[in-house]
Structure formats: C-alpha cells, structure tokens
Chain A
C-alpha cells in the first residue's frame, strides 16, 4: 500500500535554529518524493522534489531508500518559514495522483 507518514503534527523552533521535518513512506516500487508547502491564506505549492536535487529557500531533502525517508531540512530557520508542510509521493512517470502525508505545522519563534 502507498502511504506517507509525517509523525509530527506541530514543530516549534526558534529563529536561527536548525529544522528537520520528518517524512517516511511506503511504496511498492520506486516513487518520486515531493515536499509541498502552504503558507497562511495561500494555496498549496511545490517546495521541492527529489528528482531535481535542488535547494529551495534554504531547504533540502535527501531520499534515503534504505530507511524509506525523505526528511526536509534547513540549517537556520526564519520566521517566514512558518507554514504547513506536506510530504507527498507519486509514481515515477507521467501524470499520476499524489499521495500526501497529514502534514506538519512549522512554527518559527522569534
């Protein structure tokens, strides 16, 4: 069965502290992994995806196939990072539906 697990509903950190949002997945095959973000009163938007191996807004995520994890990290949190973060997976090619985790709310405290 396809499943994405985000164990933390809420994560609070101080500004300038490191951030790690956890994501584990279950998928038969090789999925593509994504992080989506939803800022207050904005629509859901793509933050980054595994296939691009990019860093967006200082965030990175490494796919660990052995641990079936795709944790999101940032070395120094900023107040504007406060948002709802969703980990998601899909099949590797074409247009396939996304399977989302329940999300983690990140609160960065000044």
Chain B
C-alpha cells in the first residue's frame, strides 16, 4: 500500500514569507507526528496528533509554527514569518492505533530552504 507522502519535496522561500507543508499519512493511521531535522542532527519532535487534536505540541519552537489536522487524516504544518534558521528537512510520520509500542512510518520529508 501507499506509504506516508509529503508535499512539496523541496521548498525555497524568502525570509519573512509564510509556508505550508503537507503530510498524507497511511490510510487508517490515527496518530501523526511532525519532526524537524537540521543538518547534522537527528530528527527532533515538533507536534503529535491523535485524530484531529494535537495531543502534544511541546516541540514547536515558537508561535510562528502551527499545525492542523482538521479531518483526522491530512495534516498541514504552517510556518509564519520564516527565518533562515527554519531551514531543515521536515519529516512526517504516522502510526496506527493500538496497545504497547507502536511503529512509526516516515515520509520522505520536505526540504525547506529559507533564503
């Protein structure tokens, strides 16, 4: 079946602009995660959705970052007034409902470059 997809694959924007990054999770997966991976670093957690609600947004760096998942499927990560430090690969992952430890499935990422 189809895996997690993310669009666009690459985004170049000017400092101060607004960007939206999209994630399509695996069909039926209730949990959706956003991570950010800067150069030379491992992925860092941003926000996690269970269904339509944000269960944990403690990783969002500041109020310029916001994410939604209005119908419990597709999610959009929104970044206002972009800064050069926002340049990174933004990863989305999804996982099914269940008990115990649940595997996360990752998308290919969106490479954001702020000039």
Contacts and interface: CB of A to CB of B under 8 A. Distances in A.
Given A95-B31, A95-B48, A95-B95, A100 B42 contact: yes
A94 interface: yes
Contacts, number: 62
Nearest to B30: A95
A46 to B, nearest CB: 6
B109 A93 contact: no
A102 interface: yes
Contacts of A92: 100-101
B91 to A, nearest CB: 7
B43 interface: yes
B54 to A, nearest CB: 12
B48 A102 contact: no
B91 A44 contact: yes
Contacts of B4: 43
Contacts of A102: 40-42
Interface of B: 3-4, 30-31, 33, 35, 40-45, 48, 50, 55-56, 59, 91, 95, 97, 99-104, 106-109
